[in-house]
A and B are shown apart, each in its own frame.
Chain A
């Protein structure tokens, strides 16, 4: 069976499309939490967020943000929820990464509140160190992005790409040097 969102992207059916470009689609499905809910997803099939290239994540976030603004202004929403369900355990029902924009109104019957958990201090500390350890590794966030691009290129060209990135970086450093009075 074909993935529901791929079908929307390919056949342009089963949902009303309100935005489309080479990489991203925004559609209104007929089965939603509340009228006005809009789904943004990449055209290419990626199951979960971790598989989506950074460039496309950025684009999806950008379109979702714009739709959030449009929803506020055009539907008279009093608030919005923006949700990504990443994995079956997180409530993901279609195996295709998507961002949901949900307009909110008083008395719409949606309850997305949670009960704060009392987690013992040592448990919190353990989680903190585990996450911080990995967080430190993504310190140079933009550099990491460059590395990911390099991996995408096949071996023969890698050197060239690396060189190119290096010279880009040099240029950037030069530029910022020039800015210093």
Chain B
């Protein structure tokens, strides 16, 4: 929800009315005006720009996870990855690859993370899609993924649900049905689709008040999430100290990084 404490109820209603009457183009324009990264791209807001081409731009993050943290941004405004055209996504990954190499060689990082967050729940902070490229050192305790064992039944369920949708997206005509779940699975799948439908309905009804209908869910959770973030941040200790220690200038090349596994 748009939070505007300075406006009176009347002004707020007027504003919502205005948004409601906007065409998709106008809405897009409005979004752009509100987006700090669009202003960085257009040069209205200064940034540490390290790369620029006709599809994307790379800048240094002003709130970096580590020194050398790079953001790769599409020039057009998209909120989340599913909205970004195929060729732009793959181009951005190639730029990320090129800069990953730069970080390994120039900043003597011992590894890099490519990180994308789609949605507030996933940790997305700005309404402009971006690829984070984060140089890593040993023991800097970032982006820890704790892995656990998943029951084979669950794996099968995921397979059925995702593979069918993926085939649909790729234009492959093949429907996967898990035998053991023929009875049970049908109901569950129905439940799931219902949920998705419900979600869509919510989206539609609230669309007009929002600057971005795609990110409806995220916006609803904005406030709670912000609170969470602050508490979570307190949990992450020692990062800074450890990172500062890791300033040793040993010469690392790509093969060394690959050979660490052997």
Tell whether, in the assembled complex, residue A131 and residue B90 are in contact, meaning their CB atoms are under 8 Å apart.
no
Q: A16-B159, A52-B97 are in contact. Are A91 and B113 (CB under 8 A)?
A: yes
Q: A61-B89, A115-B240, A141-B95 are in contact. Are A80 and B64 (CB under 8 A)?
A: no
Tell whether, in the assembled complex, residue B116 and residue A81 are in contact, meaning their CB atoms are under 8 Å apart.
yes
Binding site for B on A (CB under 8 A): 16, 18-19, 26, 28, 30-33, 35-36, 38, 47-52, 54, 57-62, 65-76, 78-93, 95, 100, 102, 104-106, 110-119, 123-124, 127-128, 130-135, 138-139, 141, 144-145
Tell whether, in the assembled complex, residue A31 and residue B147 are in contact, meaning their CB atoms are under 8 Å apart.
yes
Tell whether, in the assembled complex, residue B66 and residue A117 are in contact, meaning their CB atoms are under 8 Å apart.
yes
Q: Which residues of A contact B140 (CB under 8 A)?
A: 89
CA distance A141 to B72 in the complex (A): 14
Q: Mark B107-151, 1 if CB is under 8 A from A, else 0.
A: 101111111111111111000000000101110101111111110
Does B186 touch A at the CB level, under 8 Å? no
A79 in complex: contacting residue of B66, B118, B145, CB < 8 Å:
B118
Tell whether, in the assembled complex, residue B240 and residue A79 are in contact, meaning their CB atoms are under 8 Å apart.
no
Q: In the complex, what's the smallest C-beta–C-beta distance from A100 to chain B, in angstroms?
A: 8
Tell whether, in the assembled complex, residue B149 and residue A31 are in contact, meaning their CB atoms are under 8 Å apart.
yes
B162 in complex: contacting residue of A75, A104, A117, CB < 8 Å:
A75
How many A-B pairs have beta carbons closer than 8 Å: the answer is 299
Does B9 touch A at the CB level, under 8 Å? no
Does B195 touch A at the CB level, under 8 Å? yes
CA distance A100 to B117 in the complex (A): 12
Tell whether, in the assembled complex, residue B89 and residue A19 are in contact, meaning their CB atoms are under 8 Å apart.
no
CB-nearest residue of chain B to A73: B165
Tell whether, in the assembled complex, residue A88 and residue B170 are in contact, meaning their CB atoms are under 8 Å apart.
no
Q: Which residues of A contact B221 (CB under 8 A)?
A: 78, 106
CA distance A28 to B64 in the complex (A): 32
Does B13 touch A at the CB level, under 8 Å? no
Q: Which residues of A contact B134 (CB under 8 A)?
A: 90
